[in-house]
């Protein structure tokens, strides 16, 4: 009686196309993992973070603040409401004919313009053109800069940009002891040398702010 010894069957070798597919899937998973750590969100990352906020102030857009002068004009109809000019009150509002108090602080001029329009139309008028203008707002740069002066605030601004607008530091500037002075708040110390390396340390500047660059001490900074 002849007995036949049967060896266990080995698995067939992985086909080439299967191996290639597995490798492709692995590469896709690795690429997805790398991209998830990127600081981008809907656009290219510039390496410069948004301007930091100070004391709860909004950053980025040029927003209205209390004591700003706003001028509201109306047109587009035969008998529009009278034009209105007022400084934003302590509570952040302005008061207009018919619609009363309107929040202005924290809004851009365009946002305030739309808000006023929507309160008048269609409650009081079927159509109306509303235009909101603000006075030229300024910031000040003093001390050891090449052109100390007041400058018109035209939008997003930071300490380093303000100093650059004033011609940059003099050779005697104490760059690590720059002071940002804001009405009603304690002075804020800004290390400009650090801000050059770390954009998050470059604080935002708003209308009415004053940047003071002190003179460097003889044996100090």
Instruction: Look at residue 128 and tell me if it is in a domain.
Output: yes
**Structural domain boundaries, residue 123:** 69-134
- Nearest Cα to 190, choosing from 167, 214, 217? 214
pLDDT 10s digits, 30-49 = 554 444 433 333 333 222 23
pLDDT of 54 reads 38
pLDDT 10s digits, 88-104 = 999 999 999 999 999 99
Q: What CATH number does residue 191 fall under?
A: 3.10.560.10
Per the CB < 8 A criterion, the answer to whether 147 and 132 are in contact is: no
pTM: 0.54
Q: Is 137 helix (H, G, I), strand (E, B) or coil?
A: coil
Q: What CATH number does residue 106 fall under?
A: 3.30.1950.10
Beta bridge partners of 149: 141
The DSSP code for 42 is S
Q: How many domains does the chain have?
A: 2
Distance from C-alpha of 194 to C-alpha of 77, rounded to nearest angstrom: 55
């Amino acid at each position: 009686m002849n007995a036949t010894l049967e060896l266990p069957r080995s698995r067939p070798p992985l086909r080439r196309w299967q191996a290639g597919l597995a490798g492709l899937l692995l590469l896709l998973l690795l690429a997805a993992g790398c991209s998830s750590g990127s600081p981008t969100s809907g656009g290219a990352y510039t390496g410069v973070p948004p301007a930091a906020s100070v004391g709860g102030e909004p950053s980025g857009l040029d927003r209205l603040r209390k004591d700003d002068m706003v001028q509201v004009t109306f047109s587009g109809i035969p008998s529009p409401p009278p034009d209105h000019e007022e400084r934003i009150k302590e509570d952040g509002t302005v008061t207009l004919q018919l619609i009363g108090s309107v929040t202005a602080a924290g809004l851009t001029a365009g946002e305030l313009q739309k808000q006023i329009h929507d309160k008048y139309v269609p409650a009081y008028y079927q159509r109306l053109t509303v235009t909101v203008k603000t006075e030229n707002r300024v910031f000040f740069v003093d001390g050891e800069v090449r052109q100390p002066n007041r400058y018109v605030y035209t939008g997003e601004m930071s300490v380093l940009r303000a100093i650059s607008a004033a011609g940059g530091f003099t050779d005697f500037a104490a760059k690590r002891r720059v002071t940002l002075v804001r009405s009603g708040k304690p002075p804020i110390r800004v290390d400009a040398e650090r801000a050059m390396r770390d954009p998050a340390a470059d604080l935002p500047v708003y209308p009415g702010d004053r940047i003071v660059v002190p003179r460097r001490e003889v044996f100090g900074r």
